[in-house]
Amino acid sequence: MTGYNELKGAGQILVVEDDPVQRRLLKNAIERHGHVVHQAENGRIGLEMVKRDSGLFNVIVLDLMMPEMTGLEFLDALHEFGTQIPVIVQTGQGGIETVVQAMRAGAFDFVVKPVSPERIATSISNAMKLDQREVKARAGRRSRSGSVGFDDIVSASPAMLRVIDLAQRAAQSNIPVVLEGESGVGKELVARAIQSGGDRSNKPFVTVNCGAIPHNLVESILFGHEKGAFTGATERHIGKFMEADGGTIFLDEIGDLPLEVQVKLLRAVQQGEIETVGARTAHKVNVRLISATNKDLIEEVKNGHFREDLYYRLNVFPITIPALRKRKEDIPHLVRVFADRFSSEQKNGRRMTVNAGTLALLTAYDWPGNIRQLENAIFRAVVLAEGPELTEADFPQIAAQLPEYDVVDHLALVADNTGLDPDNGYGEDFRASMGEVHHRLSEASENAIASVNPAGDVRKLADVEEELIRFALKFYRGQMSQVARKLGIGRSTLYRKLKDYGIDPDNPQKDAA
**DSSP code of residue 86:** -
Q: Which of 138, 199, 149 is nearest to 174 (CA)?
A: 199
Q: What pLDDT score does 38 carry?
A: 93
Mean pLDDT by 10 residues, the chain (513 residues): 42 91 91 90 90 81 88 82 79 62 71 83 78 38 55 88 94 94 93 93 90 79 81 78 93 92 90 82 89 94 95 94 93 91 78 86 89 89 86 80 56 50 42 49 53 70 86 80 83 87 80 54
Q: What pLDDT score does 8 carry?
A: 41
Rounded to whole angstroms, how far apart are CA atoms 81 and 54? 10
Rounded to whole angstroms, how far apart are CA atoms 8 and 362? 52
Q: Do residues 196 and 142 lie in contact, with contact meaning Cβ atoms separated by under 8 Å?
A: yes
Q: Which of 20, 99, 108, 114 is nearest to 58 (CA)?
A: 108
In DSSP notation, 215-267 reads GGGHHHHHH-B-TTSSTT--S-B-HHHHHTTTSEEEEETGGGS-HHHHHHHHH
pLDDT tens digits for range 92-103: 755 556 666 776
Q: What pLDDT score does 137 carry?
A: 34
Q: Are strands 283-284 and 273-274 parallel, antiparallel or unpaired?
A: antiparallel
In DSSP notation, 356-370 reads HHHHHHHHHS--TTH
Q: What pLDDT score does 99 carry?
A: 67
Q: Do residues 250 and 292 lie in contact, with contact meaning Cβ atoms separated by under 8 Å?
A: yes
Q: What pLDDT score does 100 carry?
A: 64
Q: What pLDDT score does 449 carry?
A: 66
Q: What pLDDT score does 292 carry?
A: 96
The length of the chain, given as a count of residues: 513
Cα dist from 424 to 301, 390, 438, whole Å: 48, 20, 20
Domains of the chain: 4-130 (3.40.50.2300), 134-322 (3.40.50.300), 325-446 (1.10.8.60)
How crowded is residue 213: how many other Cβ atoms within 10 Å of its Cβ? 20
Buried-state track 60-83, b at ≥16 Cβ within 10 A, e below 16: bbbbbebeebbbbebbebbeeeeb
Question: Could you tell me which residues come within 8 angstroms of residue 28 by beta carbon, excluding any fewer than 6 positions away?
Answer: none
Q: Which of 122, 16, 14, 1 is nearest to 59 (CA)?
A: 14
Rounded to whole angstroms, how far apart are CA atoms 180 and 185? 9
Global model pTM greater than 0.75: no
